């Protein structure tokens, strides 16, 4: 069944997906570095967790505001794939058992954003709109 009224909202819904996912990712970095909104359970941070937190802070911010979205989302997708295979997969093959569902979902949402772009309400779309025609 075709829903044309919903199809017309695709750029805005893509933007909402981007913003919400970016904020959720940013929250992980904030937790690691600043203990906000909840303290990260491992301290002091290992070098790998420090790198993960930096990626989450930077790419989460860029994805949320829609700046360099494709590149930031690609990097974030890679981090989530890495996190899944390093932190979750060794515990069990099954995501429900190894608690890796969020890492898998974030990995594939970010991969989709890398392919689809930022959608509406982004700095990327404003930059394209304002770019001179060549």
pLDDT digits (tens, 9 = 90+) for 35-66: 999 999 998 999 999 999 999 999 999 999 99
Kindly report the average pLDDT of the chain as a whole number. 95
* Per-residue pLDDT tens digits for 93-115: 999 999 999 999 999 999 999 99
**What are the sequence ranges of the domains in the chain?**
11-122
pLDDT of 87 > 80? The answer is yes
Residue 21: CA count within 13 A, CB half-sphere: 29
pLDDT of 123 > 70? The answer is yes
* Per-residue pLDDT tens digits for 70-80: 999 999 999 99
Q: What is the pLDDT of residue 134?
A: 61
pLDDT of 20 > 70? The answer is yes
Structure token pair of residue 108: 């594939």
52 CA to centre of own chain = 12
Q: What is the pLDDT of residue 132?
A: 75
Q: Which of 132, 120, 130 shows the shortest CA–CA distance to 65?
A: 120
- As a whole-number percent, the residues of the chain with pLDDT over 70 amount to 99
pTM (whole model) above 0.85: yes
């Amino acid at each position: 069944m075709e829903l044309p009224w919903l199809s017309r909202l695709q750029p805005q819904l893509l933007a909402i997906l981007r913003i919400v996912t970016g904020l959720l990712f940013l929250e992980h970095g904030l937790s690691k570095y600043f203990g906000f909104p909840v303290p990260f359970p491992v301290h002091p941070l290992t070098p790998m967790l420090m790198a993960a937190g930096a990626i989450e802070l930077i790419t989460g911010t860029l994805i949320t505001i829609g700046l360099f979205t494709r590149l930031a989302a690609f990097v974030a997708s890679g981090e989530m794939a890495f996190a899944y295979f390093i932190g979750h997969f060794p515990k069990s093959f099954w995501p429900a058992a190894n608690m890796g569902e969020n890492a898998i979902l974030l990995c594939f949402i970010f991969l989709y954003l890398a392919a689809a772009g930022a959608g509406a309400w982004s700095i990327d779309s404003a930059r394209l709109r304002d770019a001179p025609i060549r």
